[in-house]
Amino acid sequence: MTTRPKAKLIVNPSAGCGSTGRKWKRIHEYLIQSGLSFDFVHTQGRGHAMELAKEAALGGYEMVVAVGGDGTLNEIVNGLLDSGNAKDITLGVLNTGTGCDFARFLGISRDYRQACLHLVNPQKVRADVGVVECQKEGQPIRRYFISAAGMGLDGEVVETAVKGPRVIHGNLPYFFGILQSLGTYRNKDIRIQLDDSVEDVRICSVIVANGGFYAGGMHIAPDANLQDGLFEVMILGDVGKLELIQVFPSAYRGAHVTHPKVRIEKAAQVIIESSERIMVQADGELVGEGPATFRIVPSALNIAI
């Protein structure tokens, strides 16, 4: 009888502008040398990692490892949680993508040789996960996220980036999305409910953060904690275009929190409604449009660090 390997590695060869595929042979050899018991499979396109993760979770593996970028990780998180077996599995991260926001937050090295070592005898963190429920083409949709989700300018930037030319890779689509969206975006009037507190406010963007980083290194939520059962909710108010350009670079240092039109709140549930079209993104993936409800799922995943 053949013993099932301990870990299933789900490899996105297109991640990191194709660099994951180019260095996979070296990663594979290093994992063998490290003594990890594993097998692996390559993804074939968008959404495939989600299917593969669900199959692995139902197939008896102790660990499922994301080898790719934050988008690959998001799909695997969704596959694990949709399986119903997530609490019995450890999620490993070999972030070979361009953004590396979740790995950065956990302190996992971008050097794959160092990152491989934490998979053999890992310490484990029991982490919260976020889930957003909104609308897509008139139908309800649900999506889990591990780092951050957002609405307003944030969602519109991702929508613009998704529609951008495929020859642009890495973080560049997001930055081109910002530049293009700045010319057309108008701030939104919304009703936002943070747990039991409700208010009407005009916003540029709302970021619902589980982890501390997003969008390729923005330290959007400096006090984020994966184990406190709460989101860090960044509300960027009615800023003008010039103000936005001024505050944008400071977000990479976490210094945006001192801006007078930036608020940081904590909540386990966030509900956002608007009479205007307002787009929703989760971990950099376009999900749909509002109204939207964001909920924390406490202690949803075991993560190897």
What are the residue boundaries of the structural domains of the chain, listed by start? 7-122, 129-299
Give SS3 for 157: helix
Residue found by looking up tokens 């700045």 in the block: 182
Q: What CATH number was assigned to the domain covering residues 129-299?
A: 2.60.200.40
Give SS3 for 92: strand
Q: What does the alpha-carbon distance between residue 111 and residue 161 come to, in Å, rounded to a whole number?
A: 28
Write the pLDDT tens digit of every residue in 50-106. 999 999 999 989 999 999 988 899 999 999 999 998 988 999 999 887 777 888 888
Q: What does the alpha-carbon distance between residue 135 and residue 56 come to, in Å, rounded to a whole number?
A: 29
Region of 296 (left: φ > 0; alpha: ψ -120 to 50; beta: rest) is beta
Question: By the 8 A CB rule, do 38 and 31 touch?
Answer: yes
Write the pLDDT tens digit of every residue in 135-183. 999 999 999 999 999 999 988 888 877 665 544 444 555 555 666 667 6
pLDDT at 279 over 70: yes
| Domain 7-122 shares a fold with domain 129-299 | no
From the CA atom positions of the chain, what is the Rg in Å? 19
Write the pLDDT tens digit of every residue in 101-143. 888 888 888 887 888 888 888 889 999 999 999 999 999 999 9
Give the pLDDT band (50/70/90) at residue 251.
confident
Q: Which CATH number fits domain 7-122: 3.40.50.20, 3.40.50.2000, 3.40.50.10330, 3.40.50.150?
A: 3.40.50.10330
Please name the residues in contact with 45: beta carbons below 8 A apart, sequence gap of 6 or more.
Answer: none
Sign of the torsion angle spanned by Cα atoms 158, 163, 164, 166: positive
* Token output for 259: 């801006």
Could you tell me which of 144, 118, 147, 159 has the C-alpha nearest to residue 31? 118
* Token output for 187: 């701030």
pLDDT of res. 96: 85
Pairing mode of beta strands 279-282, 38-42: unpaired
pLDDT at 25 over 60: yes
Q: What is the mean pLDDT of residues 29-55?
A: 93
